């Protein structure tokens, strides 16, 4: 009913579990208006130090988790003629991100998936958006695998440079505003907007900044 919240533990890398949850929700509510694919993990550091197992775990969650949600929910939304799929990507999905290569690969894939599906879904009355935040206070950096990086030092450097984690509650409100406006790309934080603008208009700038990013 109105205001009802039902929670469940879920491994988004498990396609059958995702499908079961989506179909149970649809059956219980009689419709599926929104799907937010938001689960994500980080693996940061120089690429030569990242093991294949870490690549696979990251892609299973960050990319295949999104695919599993779409495969389960999109046909239901087509059948009902409405719905909105919201996939959390990152500013790392719009700009080159040295030191975050595996993470950026997954997020570029989510952006491409979302913007391409948006073109198909429009004919069915279904909307699709990609969320591209900057640094959000979610704990993803603290929980990330970092084979050759000291994240405490990196986070301290970001804070000293004026880049501070954006509150998760404000991020959620920004996302919902973007969903209401049906934006294809929902930027969250000034850093996301500025970084994507700079890369779009001055793509060579990343080559100049690379030594400072990975230092």
Strands, E assignment, the chain:
34-37, 83-88, 126-133, 185-188
Burial of 154 from C-beta contacts in 10 A (0-12 / 13-18 / 19+): middle
Residue 133, helix vs strand vs coil = strand
Residue 145: helix, strand or coil by DSSP?
A: strand
Catalytic annotation, residues? 103
Interatomic CA distance for residues 181 and 186, integer angstroms: 9
H/E element, 27: helix 15-29
β-pairing, 34-37 vs 185-188, is: unpaired
Cβ pair 66, 13 in contact under 8 A: no
Pairing outcome for strands 34-37 and 126-133: unpaired
Residue 110 · residue 93 · CB < 8 Å: yes
- The helix/strand/coil state of 163 is coil
């Amino acid at each position: 009913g109105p205001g009802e919240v039902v929670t469940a533990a879920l491994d988004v890398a498990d396609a059958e579990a995702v499908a079961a949850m989506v179909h149970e929700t649809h059956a219980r509510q009689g419709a599926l208006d929104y799907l937010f694919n938001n689960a994500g993990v980080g693996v940061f550091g120089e690429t030569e130090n990242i093991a294949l197992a870490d690549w696979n775990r990251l892609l299973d969650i960050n990319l295949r988790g999104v695919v599993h949600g779409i495969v389960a929910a999109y046909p239901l939304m087509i059948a009902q003629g409405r719905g909105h799929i919201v996939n959390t990507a990152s500013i790392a999905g719009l700009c080159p991100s040295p030191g975050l290569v595996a993470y950026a690969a997954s997020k570029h894939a989510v952006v491409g998936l979302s913007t391409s599906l948006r073109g198909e879904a429009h004919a069915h009355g279904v909307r699709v958006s990609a969320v591209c935040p900057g640094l959000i206070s979610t704990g993803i950096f603290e929980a990330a695998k970092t084979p050759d990086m000291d994240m405490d030092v990196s986070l301290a450097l970001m804070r000293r440079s004026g880049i501070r984690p954006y509150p998760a509650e404000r991020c959620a409100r920004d996302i919902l505003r973007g969903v209401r406006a049906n934006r294809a790309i929902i930027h969250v934080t000034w850093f996301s907007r500025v970084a994507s603008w700079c890369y779009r208009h001055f793509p060579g700038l990343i080559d100049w900044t690379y030594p400072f990013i990975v230092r």
